[in-house]
Structure 1
Amino acid sequence: MNIGFITPEYPHQKIKYAAGIGTSIKNLAIALVKKGVKVTVFVYHQNSNEVFVDGGVEIHSIKTKRFKIATWFFYRKHVQNYVRQIVKRNEIQLLEAPDWTGITAFMVFKVPLVIRFHGSDAYFCKLEKRKQKFKNFMFEKLALKQATAFIAPTNYASNETKKIFGLDKKKIKTIHYGLELENFENDTPVNYNKNTILYIGTIIRKKGVLELAQIFNKVIETNSEAQLILIGGDATDIKTGNVSTYSLMQNIFSAKAKEQSNYLGKIPYEDVKEYIKKAQVCAFPSFAETLGMVTIESMALKRPVVNTSIGWAQELIDDGENGFLVHPSKINDYASRIIELFNDENLCLEIGIAARKKVETLFDIEKNADINIAYYKSILNT
């Protein structure tokens, strides 16, 4: 089998950006290669044109290109023409692309196109209850209309996207993202920095970071030793226009909370895993995800997670068994769960071990890669 992925990001030093989409694609791509599948990845909007191989995956960096008029259209056609050329040369049988921004709108391929619901702009606008630009909706709708089939990381993302765009449910398959579990081992889960909360993700309103600031204020009122560590890039706030959402968090923090919070910005991926191991609690009070890679990464490393209670999270965590689910708006309840874990080291260990077992059951990339392969084959044989 020979598969191609079209993506705006991928974790590699030669690629300018990587986040959840890129991480999930790389995890799958590497797992597919190990199972004998040939994989080509096309990464658009890059600084240069380059082809290289990483982990057995052939990666094509496609440079951003401006046109005198309608760059939104002609750059898509530019990417299409390049991909079509490599599809023919490499004998790629099937392409996969994300729903975000509808990159494959106006693209035509001679092989089946699968779109995976990493989260469209329309999806996030609905969850955040904000208005979407009409042209963005149309690009995404057109891209989805032209696809052969769809993959969703959770049933929640499947149902919401189906409703937004009026898709045929029969064409959607739910397949969870996965992790290479051998890269997420924690042999000493009893060793961590007490009273430490870790947040990983973009510092952006939709991730619940403003609520997290309020939550930390409450935690520190009860536990004066509490520390909050934040990892991820800062983002412009879509509601206020402020170029730094972290500055908005600082305005919310109490004096004590501000003193005991530490924003590290973006750090290397391997270092992030070490911070997860060292945290007593990981907190992800997001309002908008399709699954949330950092949640399952933290669970795999046997750390107790206090997560959002919204839709998708209910498919990751069984509340009270392998983590906790609390709506981000319930500041006192959220803080109480963190304090409960701070006060009970045995509970932290029990939740962490159970979290690892849940990840082994549902999010092992070796198992999920087989499910992807079977689904790809079903499309090719239709």
Structure 2
Amino acid sequence: MKIAFLTPEYPHTRTGISGGIGTSIKNLAESLVNLGHSVRILVYAQKEDAVFDDGSVVVQQIRNVKIKGLSWFFTRKKIEKIINELYKNKEIDIVEAPDWTGITSFMQPENCPVIIRLNGSDTYFCHLDKRPVKWWNRFHEKRALVKANGHISVSQFTADTTNKLFGLAIPFTIIPNGINVDNFRRDQLIKKEDDTILYFGTLIRKKGVLELASIFNSIVEKKPDARLILVGKDTRDIVSGNNSTWKMMQEIFSHNALEQVEYLGGVSYAEVREYIAKAAVCVFPSFAEALPVSWLEAMAMEKAIVASNIGWAQEMIETNKEGYLVDPKSHENFATAIIHLLEDENQNTIFGSNAMLKVNSVFNNRTIAEKSVIYYQSFLNM
């Protein structure tokens, strides 16, 4: 099968900065190739039109059309033309696109099935983050969903919430994100550092980092030697307009807590794995996710986790089995759960082992790719 992924991001030096959507696509693409399928990544919003190979995956860069007030329309039509040509030349059989900003809303590819995979639309994240959504994005996202041939969601929570927000009743097929577990095996040579807490991800309000500052204050009051390591790029806060979320966090930390915090900024993928390996506990107090790959990476490396208890989390982690799920606004309860795992090495080890086993059986790339292929084939045989 020849599968194309339409995306605004992809993790490669030539295509620019990438987030969770790009990472999940790359993970899936690699496993599809390993299963004998061919993959082409169509990356729009690029500086140039170009095609290059990323290993066994073909990456096609698409430059947006620049026409004042109509760029959105003509860019979509340009992408539509590219898809039609690729399909006509038998270079692709099917296209998958994300729900983010509804890029396929005004496309009508000839005969080529279009699948939308929910990783969280702007409408979805604004809802979870309690912010107003731009009507333009909401309009395109709903139109894209209605027009798509097929629909996948990475979590049932995301599917149900999306249907509710748009007033739809789409029967989404649930296929979660996955990771290459071989890339995230626990390194026996790297020793776990006692009382070390790790957060890795963007420093942004919706991921609960402002809550984390208050949570860590409570931890340090009871465990003065506890350390918090923060890994991830800083961002502007969309609510307050502050240019640095990290600066906002520093204002929340107590004097004693701030002395125990180390902010490393963005680091390489290899370095992230090393920091995960060293951590005693990984924390994710997020308010807005679909099914985060970062959580899977920590789970695969046998880390005990304390995370948000919102919707999607319960599809990843069973509380008291693979970790603790706690309301991130309950600072004391969140802090207590972290302290318990710092102090109870046996429970910490059990949670980490259970988390690794779950990722290996449920969230490994090969399983996710096989489920995706079965779904794609149902549209090719129609």
Structures share a fold, TM > 0.5? yes
Structure 2 residue matching 1:193: 3-state secondary structure: coil
Question: Could you list the per-position Cα deviations for residues 201-235 of structure 1 after superposition, in whole angstroms to 9, with x for gaps in the alignment?
Answer: 11111100100000011111111111111111211
Asked if 1:45 is matched to 2:45, the reply is yes
State the AA in 2 paired with 1:331: H
> After superposition, what is the alpha-carbon deviation per residue over 1:144-168, rounded to whole angstroms, capped at 9, x for unaligned?
1110111111111111112122333
Find the aligned partners of 2:61 and 2:333 in 1 and give their Cα distance.
46
Task: Give distance in 1, aligned partners of 2:77 and 2:259.
Answer: 51
Q: Is the 8 A contact 2:309 2:326 kept in 1?
A: yes
Paired with 2:70 and 2:64, the residues of 1 have a C-alpha distance of 14
1:322-359 Cα offsets, whole Å, 9 max, x none, are 11100111100000011111111222111111110111
Work out the CA distance in 2 between the residues paired with 1:193 and 1:267. 19
State whether residues 179 and 297 of structure 2, in contact with CA within 8 Å, keep that contact through their aligned partners in structure 1. yes
Post-superposition shift, 1:191?
2.1
SS across alignment from 1:77: helix
Q: Secondary structure at the match of 1:307?
A: strand
The within-5 A match list for 1:112-261 is 112-170=113-171, 172-188=172-188, 191-261=191-261
Contact kept in structure 1, 2:190 and 2:278, CA below 8 Å: no
Shift of 1:187: 4.3
Contact 2:235 2:245 in 1 (8 A): yes
Partner of 1:23: 23
Deviates more, 1:34-43 or 1:87-96: 87-96
Q: TM-score, normalised by structure 2?
A: 0.96
Q: Point out where structure 1 has 5 or more consecutive residues left out of the alignment.
A: none
Name the CA distance, whole Å, in 2 between partners of 1:218 and 1:366. 41
One-letter code aligned to 2:358: K
Runs of 5+ in structure 2 lacking a partner?
Answer: none
d(CA) in 2 for partners of 1:190, 1:309 = 30
User: Quick one: distance in 1 between partners of 2:255 and 2:90?
Assistant: 59
Q: How far does residue 51 in structure 1 lie from its aligned partner after superposition?
A: 1.2
SS of aligned partner of 2:243:
coil
**Hey, what does 1:328 align to over in structure 2?**
328
Shift of 1:86: 2.9
Does the alignment pair 1:280 with 2:280? yes
Corresponding residue for residue 298 of structure 1:
298
Q: Which range moves more in the overlay, 47-56 or 355-364?
A: 47-56
The CA distance in 2 between the partners of 1:190 and 1:59, in whole Å, is 35
Q: Does the CA contact (< 8 Å) of 1:114 and 1:151 recur in 2?
A: yes
What SS does the corresponding residue of 1:290 show, helix, strand or coil? coil
Letter in 1 for 2:113: P
AA in 1 matched with 2:330:
K
Supply the AA of the counterpart residue of 2:21. I
**Matched residue of 2:379: which SS?**
helix
The reply on whether 1:381 has 2:381 as its aligned counterpart is yes
Deviation for aligned residue 1:241: 0.8
- On the 8 A contact 2:302/2:356 being kept in 1, the answer is yes
Q: Secondary structure at the match of 1:328?
A: coil
Per-residue CA shift, 1:13-44, capped at 9, x if unaligned? Answer: 22201111111111110100111111100111
SS in 2 for 1:239: coil
Indicate if the aligned counterparts of 1:42 and 1:83 stay in contact, CA closer than 8 A: no
Q: Please say if residues 190 and 277 of structure 2, whose CA atoms lie closer than 8 Å, have aligned partners that are also in contact.
A: no
For 2:299 and 2:108, locate their aligned partners in 1 and report how far apart those are by CA, in whole Å: 40
| Counterpart residue type for residue 305 of structure 2 | V
Amino acid at match of 1:31: S
Deviation of residue 308 (structure 1)?
0.5
Q: What is the CA-CA distance between 1:65 and the residue it aligns to?
A: 4.1
- Deviation string 1:281-316 (CA, Å, 9 cap, x unpaired) is 110000000011111110000011101000100011
Please state whether the residue corresponding to 1:169 is helix, strand or coil: coil
Aligned residues: 381
Distance in 2 (alpha carbons) for counterparts of 1:21 and 1:87? 24
The code of the aligned residue for 1:329 comes to K
Per the alignment, in what secondary structure is the counterpart of residue 62 of structure 2?
strand
Deviation at 1:90, TM superposition (A): 4.4
Distance 1:108 1:132 in 2: 26
Match of 1:359 in 2: 359
On the 8 A contact 1:189/1:349 being kept in 2, the answer is no
| In 2: Cα distance, 1:50 partner to 1:345 partner | 52
Are the counterparts in 2 of residues 214 and 253 from structure 1 also a CA contact under 8 Å? yes
Aligned to 1:305, the other structure's residue is in SS state: strand
SS at match of 1:122: helix
Per the TM alignment, residue 200 of structure 1 is displaced from its structure 2 partner at its CA by: 1.2
- Quick one: distance in 2 between partners of 1:47 and 1:259? 42
Contact 2:198–2:229 (CA under 8 A) maintained in structure 1: yes
Q: Secondary structure at the match of 1:273?
A: helix
- What is the DSSP-based 3-state SS (H/G/I as helix, E as strand, rest coil) of the residue aligned with 1:211? helix
1-10 or 181-190: bigger deviation: 181-190
The 8 Å contact of residues 141 and 165 in structure 1, kept in 2 or not, is answered as yes
Is 1:70 the counterpart of 2:70 in the alignment?
yes
Partner-residue secondary structure (3-state), 1:44: strand
Report the Cα distance in structure 2 between the residues aligned to 1:222 and 1:173, rounded to whole angstroms: 45
Fraction of identical pairs, as percent: 46
Whether the 8 Å contact between 1:227 and 1:260 is mirrored in structure 2 is yes
**Contact kept in structure 2, 1:30 and 1:55, CA below 8 Å:** no
Cα distance in structure 2, aligned partners of 1:195 and 1:303? 13
Separation in structure 2 between the aligned mates of residue 199 and residue 133 of structure 1, nearest angstrom: 30
